[in-house]
Structure 1
Amino acid sequence: MQSGSEHRWQTRTHQAFVDYYARQSLSAAAFDRSRRLRDKLLRFAPAREGPLHVADIGSNAGTQARVWAELGHRVYGVEINADLVRIAQERMAGEGLPVWFHLGSATALPFRDASMDVCIAPELLEHVPPWETCLDEFVRILRPGGVLFLSTTNRLCPVQHEFNLPLYSWYPGPLKRHFEGLAVSSRPDLANHAAYPAVNWFTPGQLRRALAERGMRGLDRFDALEAGGGLRGLAVRAVRLLPPLRWMGHLVTPGTTMIALKESA
């Protein structure tokens, strides 16, 4: 498959997919989840005067962009689905929030080098075959000291929500390719009618190494937790210190999340 600007990406998908995300993005749970993520990333974001410049890649119907903009930050969304871009633009119209949405691909972002303080790419890497090109683009647009957030698949955990099949994370590659083919032909319901079903399955260690190769210091979900005191703090510190416990933690946690910090110049 071609990557970057050479590839003609499909910008329309099944209406059921659009309708689901249009509804889900307005829920109280979606706004609460987005605000919690925003507040966590602000702990790692570079200190600067004035608003942060935030790239929301895979911006969907604009919920994550909305919660950053409500604090005055400048947000630039990129989304491959034309209907979701339209919905996001309509929702922001008249609110006067500093948000701009672009129709495009994560493999060729429409931003200058070192122009963003924060880059958010939730549930995206699994859907783009040239995922390493996406990482290159995220790193390119971040300023030194900038923060990147990724959430994606976890090959270690048997629980997943990408395919409506049991234990799919553990299927061997050839069997996954079979179901990927069905999902884009006769059985779109297998992958929830996604135009681009998940084709990449990661481990936290694999993603951390890929980020390190690009000058990023990766923090997995346990590194990014605030330890605090009491039993919770003790448990967090034990997971960080003992690799077998960390591995078991990832084994029972659907999805991989990573916060990565770009090395300062």
Structure 2
Amino acid sequence: MDDKAQKWDTGSHEGFYTYYEQQSLSPATFERFKATRDTLLRLKARQHDTSSMDILDIGCGAGTQGGLWSEAGHRYVGIDINEPLIILARNRAADHGLNLRYEVGSATELPFPDASFDICVMPELLEHVPPWEDCLREAIRCLRPGGLIYISTNNTLCPIQQEFNLPLYSWYPKALKHHFERRAVSDWPELVNYAKYPAVNWFSFYYLRKYLGERGFDAFDRFDLVDDNEKSGLQKLALSAIKTLPPLRLLAHMATSYTVLVAQKQLSA
């Protein structure tokens, strides 16, 4: 472990590790990450040849995305604060003969040069890191002009969530959320499925779009990312209405329990 990693608690509760060890191998997880990869490749293909790109997976967990990017011919690096999961990822890659790089480290201090990646993926990360702005600052620093950041996180607009085992939690006032955050890391770890770093930040697409827009990015939400060619006529009509009518788009976001966003770094940024 390097010196920077030693500044952080890189351990893992057994229950948390076991959950992600199993969840990372589920067909649903593979399909979700494959869909993410294919969406990002489709967006990058509009810019240039995507035959070989550098991919950074921030908060990679057990490293499920590594094999998916590697099989598509891309160079992949995964980083996570959870050392047991990184060891698991390395072992799995070795078992399958894959040349993948996995590092133990913090998303707030990435050990990579400026402008060294074409795509940065940040799945279910920002909600768990109190200085979440530092995570985005580092991802932006490491991204090349024209590169893409993929973010999936919680959605404060929707009352349904999976972060805390409590009803309507995303709509709780801050003071009440802080109370349960303290309980989750003290006497009630089951509340967050034994996560060492439970969700402490809450986002919406609109908030992240504004934040990234001020830093030289063009952002797209889940509806912008849909491939119309895969939809029926009725689905295309509904999607067109959501994209065209802002109030309907807001309602659609309120009906979705998580936020998905892709942002492209402007060439002049």
In the superposition, the TM-score normalised over structure 2's length comes to: 0.93
Distance 1:181 1:245 in 2: 37
1:70/1:97 contact within 8 Å kept: no
1:262 corresponding residue in structure 2: 265
Q: How does 1:15-34 map to 2 (within 5 A)?
A: 15-34=14-33
The residue that corresponds to 2:141 in the other structure is 140
Contact 1:227 1:237 in 2 (8 A): no
SS at match of 2:55: strand
Q: Rate the CA distance shift 1:145–1:123 in 2: closer, same or farther, 3 A.
A: same
Most deviating of 93-102 and 106-115: 93-102
Whether the 8 Å CA contact 2:57–2:79 is kept in 1: the answer is yes
Q: Is the 8 A contact 2:30 2:64 kept in 1?
A: yes
RMSD: 1.5
- Give 1:226 shift: 2.1
Mark the CA change 1:24 to 1:206 in structure 2 (over 3 Å): closer, same or farther.
same
TM-superposition CA deviations, 1:17-69 (whole Å, max 9, x none): 00110011112221121111111110112524641100001111111111111
- Kindly provide the amino acid, as one letter, of the partner of residue 33 in structure 1: R
The equivalent position to 1:234 in structure 2, one of 219, 234, 237, is 237
Cα deviation code 1:68-124 (max 9, x no counterpart): 112221100001100000000000015342310000011111111111011000000
**3-state SS of paired residue (2:157):** coil
8 Å CA contact 2:158–2:254 kept in 1: the answer is: yes
Aligned-partner Cα distance in 2 for 1:79–1:247: 33
Cα distance in 2, alignment partners of residues 47 and 207 from structure 1 = 26
Task: Quote the residue 2:35 is aligned against.
Answer: 36
Q: Percent identity?
A: 51
- Partner letter of residue 17 of structure 2? V
Per-residue deviation, residues 220-250 of structure 1 (Å, max 9, x unmatched): 1111112346111111111111111001001
Q: Secondary structure at the match of 1:113?
A: coil
Alpha-carbon contact 2:5-2:106 (below 8 Å) kept: no
SS at match of 1:209: helix
The worse-fitting range, judged by mean Cα deviation, of 88-97 and 110-119 is 88-97
Which whole-Å CA distance do the structure 2 matches of 1:83 and 1:13 have between them?
A: 7
Structure 1: gaps spanning 5 or more residues: none
- The within-5 A match list for 1:200-219 is 200-219=201-220
1:248 matched to which residue of 2? 251
The amino acid that maps onto 1:74 is R
Q: Is the 8 A contact 1:217 1:260 kept in 2?
A: yes
Equivalent residue number for residue 174 of structure 1: 175
Does the 8 Å CA contact 2:82/2:104 hold for their aligned counterparts? yes
With normalisation by structure 1, the TM-score equals: 0.95
